[in-house]
Amino acid sequence: MPIIIRAEYLSYYNASRNSDKLFNIFLIQEDNGTFNCLTENGRRGSNLVRRTVCEKVRREAAESKFWEKVREKRNHRETPYTNESSGSSYSQIASQFKFSKPNDSVKTNEPKATESKTNVIAFPIEESQKQSPKQKPGGILNSEQFNSLEI
Give residue 103's pLDDT: 44
DSSP class per residue in 41-63: EEETTSPPEEEEEEEEE-HHHHH
For the chain, give the mean pLDDT. Answer: 79
Give residue 90's pLDDT: 85
What are the mean pLDDT values of the chain's consecutive 10-residue runs (151 residues total)? 93 93 95 94 92 95 96 94 88 86 48 49 57 54 55 54
Give residue 106's pLDDT: 43
Give residue 102's pLDDT: 52
Long-range contacts of range 113-122, CB-CB < 8 Å, 24 or more positions apart?
Answer: 114/67, 114/71, 114/74
What's the pLDDT tens digit per position in 11-37?
Answer: 999 999 999 999 999 999 999 999 999
- pTM surpassing 0.85? no
The residue extents of the domains of the chain are: 3-97
Give residue 125's pLDDT: 59
Give residue 73's pLDDT: 95
Angle at CA of residue 52, ends 48 and 56, nearest 5°: 145
